[in-house]
Structure 1
Amino acid sequence: MSEESNSDESESRVKPLTAIARRCLGVLVEKAKTTPDSYPLSLAGIITGCNQKSNRDPKMEVDEGDALRALDELREAGAVREIQGSGRVTKYRHAAYEWFDVDSPGSAIMTELMLRGPQTLGELRTRASRMHPFVDLTATQAEVDSLIEKGLVFAVTPAGRGQTFAHCLYTPVERQHLAAKVEKQAAAGASAGSETTGKPGSLANEGRIDKIQQRLDDVTARLEALEKKLADLES
């Protein structure tokens, strides 16, 4: 009963985050593990980490206003804390271990998923090992399974070779976009197979999926524009 209670508490605490908030949280956890001498991070350090070209997908151009709004979102959620640094410079530290209810290997995988998006087990093992060593794919799979049980990770593609996993912090619109993208990739694979056997029946289906994805892209862009306008009005 206590385990069920802890699981419900974790699910109620962890909520979807905007893309920039996820990037800021990922940067804080990453830098705490890889460059502890420069941690906690100032606002400038967080912005630099968000916009760096390596270990990031997609690339971002986060400005000061974007970062401040994201940090407010994270503080309200309980995932980040603001502290007073030396010289009265405000700095930030993450509370990811408590917020996610994970240990070091779990936080490493969640961080890679936040910084780079959906990945396979092999990609997660290679990339997350810079923050926590994973001896093999079996150890990586065990940690991913644990995160799935906690409701933090889900399988984007069916089980099998090249199975892809993602975090559960996407907003509902982003989840729809991701599902459409996966469906399109599956349809493209089916189309390639039908072309080799002289059966082009999946081409019409691929065109339909393209239209659905375009509509989702349009909706996402409009929502992001509205969110920015509301944030500007509030500030």
Structure 2
Amino acid sequence: MSDDTASGAKPPAKPISAIARRCLGVLIEKAKTTPDSYPLSLAAIVTGSNQKSNRDPQMNISEGDALLALDELREAGAVREIQGSGRVTKYRHAAYEWFDCDSPGASIMTELMLRGPQTVGEIRTRASRMHPFVDLTATQAELDALVEKELVFAITPPGRGQTFAHTLYTPTERQHLAAKIEKQSGATPSTAAPSSAPASAANESRIDKIQQRLEDVVTRLESLEQKLADWEK
């Protein structure tokens, strides 16, 4: 018996491929945002994976790609295959068990899988379409819990604009992500005019508020785009 089993602790979810993460994120998202059309067929998973809104990076996966990813997720224990009406095979996620987390945690993991690394403010704004987060403090508390479970890690130092990512990246992806962050950090200007120092705190506060408002507007627009796309289908 392993130490994890003996202590009752669940081992953290293992890394999965990028397409598998996209498919899993789509399943969790649709279960929360469009429950009437859930569980999802293979065609619905492909459509959700390739949609333009709430996705970064954009993908153009085929049904064959999705089938391989779903096989990967089933073997990992993150997805279950069921028989739908009319003998159509459908799929549902098992994210709560696989992640060993509840709705708030699953909502954050979903946004990180669908859109990549994000700040606390971005996570709160975007994940609130699946689970309401009352403020940044509540969002940070949930992130801390996910960090404790080794599902999330901080990829930039503490402070304004700190960015978080999930731990489901493959080792190669982690290396690319670290290199990208290091490059971005090195490109940031490190010198500022001395006269701007006294007002920096106030300016940062104003920037934070403006950024939050912009994120709210973008999220509302994306929500409207998604509702329109669902209605057209």
Q: Give the TM interval when normalised to the shorter protein.
A: 0.7 to 0.9
Secondary structure at the counterpart of residue 193 of structure 1 = coil
TM-score, normalization by structure 1: 0.78
Deviation at 1:94, TM superposition (A): 0.1
Question: Root-mean-square deviation (CA), in Å?
Answer: 1.8
- Residue deviations 1:92-116, cap 9 Å, x none? 0000000000000000000000000
CA distance in 2, matches of 1:127, 1:5: 35
Where structure 2 has 5 or more consecutive residues not aligned to the other structure, the ranges are 195-233
CA distance in 1, matches of 2:72, 2:193: 50
CA distance in 2, matches of 1:97, 1:156: 24
Residue matched to 1:10? 11
Deviation at 1:175, TM superposition (A): 0.2
- 1:43-54 equivalences under 5 Å are 43-54=42-53
TM-score, normalization by structure 2: 0.79
The structure-2 alpha-carbon separation of the partners of 1:78 and 1:186, relative to structure 1 and needing over 3 Å to count, comes to: same
Residue matched to 1:142? 141
Q: Is contact 2:20–2:73 with CA below 8 Å preserved after alignment?
A: yes
Q: Is contact 1:10–1:101 with CA below 8 Å preserved after alignment?
A: no
Query: 2:190 is aligned with what amino acid?
Result: G
Where structure 1 has 5 or more consecutive residues not aligned to the other structure, the ranges are 198-235
Identity of aligned residues (%): 77
CA distance in 2, matches of 1:118, 1:18: 16
Deviation at 1:5, TM superposition (A): 2.5
Residue matched to 1:161? 160
Secondary structure at the counterpart of residue 130 of structure 2 = coil
Query: 1:10 is aligned with what amino acid?
Result: P
- Residue deviations 1:129-149, cap 9 Å, x none? 000000000000000000000
Structure that is richer in helix per residue:
1
Residue matched to 1:193? 190
Secondary structure at the counterpart of residue 8 of structure 2 = helix
- 1:1-235 equivalences under 5 Å are 5-7=7-9, 9-11=10-12, 14-189=13-188, 192-193=189-190
CA distance in 1, matches of 2:6, 2:126: 32
Q: Would you identify which runs of 4 or more consecutive aligned residues in structure 1 move more than 2 Å? A: 1-7, 192-197
Q: Is contact 2:4–2:11 with CA below 8 Å preserved after alignment?
A: no
